[in-house]
Structures are given as C-alpha cells and as structure tokens.
C-alpha cells in the first residue's frame, strides 16, 4: 500500500536509524502513540511539545555534537513560529539539521487559517544554503530522506497531510533535476509542477490535453531551480502564459498586452504599487495618487512613499467650496486620537474620515 508523505518519512527514517546510530528524531507534539521511530529507537526520540523554536535550537546542538537530527512539526509552526531559530540554525550555523514540515499549503484547511502555510517557501528560500524539497509520492519522499542523511547539510522538506500518491518513475537511484513525466516538442506547451497538489493537477491537465509536456521538479531552492530553468530552456523555446478563464476571450493578444502592461510598471528602480483609482507614475514605491472620477470628498487622503501626509482639512472637505464645520476651542490644540471624528493620522500617513464609525470606535 502506498504511504502518505509524512508516513513514508517516518518509516524511512526509522529504517535508516537501524544502521546509523547518529540519527535522532525530534517531534513537536506530532508523534502520537504509534510513531514507528519511538517504538524502534526510544532512546533517540524526543517529543518537545509545542515548543518549535526550542526544538530547532536543540537540533542545532545535536548537530554540533555529531548527530543527524530530524525535526518535524506543522509547516506554519516551523517556518513562521520558529523562523528566527531556523534562520540561525540552517543559515547562520549551516547546521546539518533536516526540518520535516507536513501540513504545508492548505492541506490542513479544516483546521483553520492558523494551520495554513503559504509563506514557507518564501521564508526558507531567503535563507542561504538550505536545500528545499517538495516530494510527490512515497518514492520521492524516501529518496529525499536518504539524501538528507548522506549529505549532512541543512534541509527543509514540505509535504501534505494524509494524501498518498505514486511518484513519477525516474531512471537511476536518485530523482533527476527535472523529472519528465511526458516530453513534447520545443514549441509545445510545457507544464512545470512542484509538490503534491501541483503535480497531481498537472498530470490531470496533461491527460486532458494530449501532446502537452510535463516536467516535475523536486527541489525548489535557488541553486536547484536555476539549474532546472536552464534545462527547461534547452528543451522548450517558448513560454506561453494563459491569463483569464478558458473561454473568456483573452488569447495571445490579451496575454501580450498584459505582459506589456506589467513591464511598463516595472523599471530599473523596481516595481510600483498601483492602487485602485490611482494612476501609477514613475519612481519607487507609492507615488502621489490621482483621485478617481467622482471620488472627491471622504477618504481623499494622499499616500506617498516617504513623504508623509500632504493636504489637510480643506483638502478633505465634503464638497468643493464647502467650508469645514468650526472646530471647538477645547479640541483645537488637542492631539488626534482614534476618537477624533474628522480624521486619524496613522504611522503610514494614510488620512481617512471616520465619521460613520465614530460611535463604534468610541464604544
């Protein structure tokens, strides 16, 4: 029977630990009563409870002592709650610690947003020297665990919850840099997939559209992705982007127009953030907005990248030419607070009216 990713990890690590006494398993209250590693090697199994940062710090100490620690916890708690410990352990110390992160993405959706993790790839890819893997299926997971044991270098492995898949076959012992599930000509559309759900969807899409190429990537850190991109470029000469839903009428011309529009907002000095109702202009970050037609009046504050607040009470008048109501003497020199019914000055220099919400704020 095919095992899920996290069950395959536990089984493979337990099997490898029988021949390697330096392998240590750490869990953050995820082991349960039937953890195979705990049953086979209780003296090398540690359940640290919901103390993810302490678990990673302990793994760093074990690695410094010559052990090969594998620490497992939910992806949001590994990448977010223990982010500083991960940065210091994997990046600064380059300790040979492997972090196993199930429940990545939205695989634990029914637990709520506290257990979702869409940020772990961005966080871990910013830490230098970490090998990041997102296996698809039992065979890939076992291969990644074996490679982490042999290398003794920092690893981050993300997987789902209980979904079980059969990995895409590959020649040789180790998965290749780019695992081609199906090859096609250089002008054909090529789907590139990573992880469990992305690969499953890509395989379904390829079966629905025969002739489409499909390349699966296992490792997602900068070094492996750069090499994979070079290999993909050697096989496929064109990259086609599809924007909009099928049948929406936006074909190749729409994609080119969207690309041109995107390039127009990204210059040598970096991308510009265009807000609704505001026309983007050159320069860094946020620029002076132009109010949308018919939008004068409430909420017309000015947001600038570094310039703070511009305009004042007259700029925020209800209608052009109408004067503001007089300010009482006792409030003329009083500092602005959240109870002010005219406007609030926040640290980001965004000015807005709170007349409608004043009763709620006061309560």
Q: How far, rounded to the nearest angstrom, does the alpha carbon of residue 151 sit from its chain's CA centroid?
A: 26
Q: How far, rounded to the nearest angstrom, does the alpha carbon of residue 206 sit from its chain's CA centroid?
A: 26
Is it the case that residue 317 has pLDDT exceeding 80?
no
CA distance 166 to 135: 11
Does residue 241 contact residue 262 with C-beta atoms inside 8 Å?
no
Helix axes 5-17, 138-151, angle to 10 degrees: 40
DSSP 24: E
pLDDT for position 42:
94
Domain ranges of the chain: 5-158, 178-235, 277-289+297-322+334-363
| Fold of domain 5-158 | Rossmann fold (3.40.50)
Confidence of residue 353 (pLDDT cuts 50, 70, 90): very low
Q: Lowest-pLDDT range, 77-81, 235-239, 283-287, 350-354?
A: 350-354
Instruction: List, as one string, the DSSP characters of 202-269.
Output: HHHHHHHSTT-EEEEE-B-SHHHHHHHHHHHHHH-S------S-TTSS--HHHHHHHHHHHHHHEETT
Is it the case that residue 268 has pLDDT exceeding 70?
no
Q: Tell me what the mean pLDDT of segment 2-9 comes to.
A: 92
Residue 128: how many other CB atoms lie within 10 Å:
13
Q: Tell me what the mean pLDDT of segment 141-167 comes to.
A: 94
Is it the case that residue 265 has pLDDT exceeding 60?
no
Is it the case that residue 119 has pLDDT exceeding 70?
yes
């Amino acid at each position: 029977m095919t095992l899920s990713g996290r069950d395959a990890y536990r089984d493979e690590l337990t099997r490898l630990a029988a021949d390697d006494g330096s392998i240590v398993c750490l869990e953050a209250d995820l082991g349960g009563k039937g953890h195979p590693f705990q049953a086979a090697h209780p003296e090398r199994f540690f359940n640290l409870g919901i103390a993810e940062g302490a678990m990673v710090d302990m793994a760093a100490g074990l690695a410094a002592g010559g052990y090969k620690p594998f620490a497992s916890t939910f992806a949001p708690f590994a990448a977010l709650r223990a982010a500083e410990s991960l940065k210091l352990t994997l990046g600064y110390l380059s300790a040979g610690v492997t972090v196993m992160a199930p429940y990545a993405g939205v695989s634990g959706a029914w637990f709520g947003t506290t257990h979702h993790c869409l940020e772990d790839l961005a966080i871990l890819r910013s830490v230098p020297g970490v090998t990041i893997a997102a296996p698809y299926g039992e065979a890939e997971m076992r291969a990644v665990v074996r490679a982490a044991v042999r290398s003794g270098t920092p690893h981050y492995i993300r997987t789902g919850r209980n979904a079980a898949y059969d990995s895409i076959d590959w020649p040789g012992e180790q998965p290749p840099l780019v695992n081609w599930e199906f090859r096609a000509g250089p002008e054909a559309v090529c789907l590139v997939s990573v992880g469990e759900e992305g690969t499953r969807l890509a395989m379904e899409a390829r079966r629905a559209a025969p002739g489409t190429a499909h390349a699966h990537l296992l490792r997602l850190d900068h070094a492996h992705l750069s090499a994979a991109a070079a290999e993909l470029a050697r096989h496929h000469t064109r990259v086609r982007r599809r924007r909009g839903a099928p049948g929406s009428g936006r074909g190749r011309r729409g994609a080119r127009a969207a690309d041109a529009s995107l390039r127009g907002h990204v210059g040598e000095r970096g991308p510009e953030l265009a807000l609704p109702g505001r026309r983007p202009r050159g320069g860094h970050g946020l620029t002076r907005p132009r109010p949308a037609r018919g939008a004068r009046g409430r909420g017309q504050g000015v947001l600038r990248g570094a310039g703070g607040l511009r305009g004042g009470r007259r700029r925020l008048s209800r209608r052009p030419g109408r004067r503001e109501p007089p300010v009482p003497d006792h409030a003329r020199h009083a500092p602005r607070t959240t109870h002010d019914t005219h406007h609030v000055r926040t640290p980001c220099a965004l000015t807005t009216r709170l007349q409608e919400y004043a009763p709620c704020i006061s309560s």
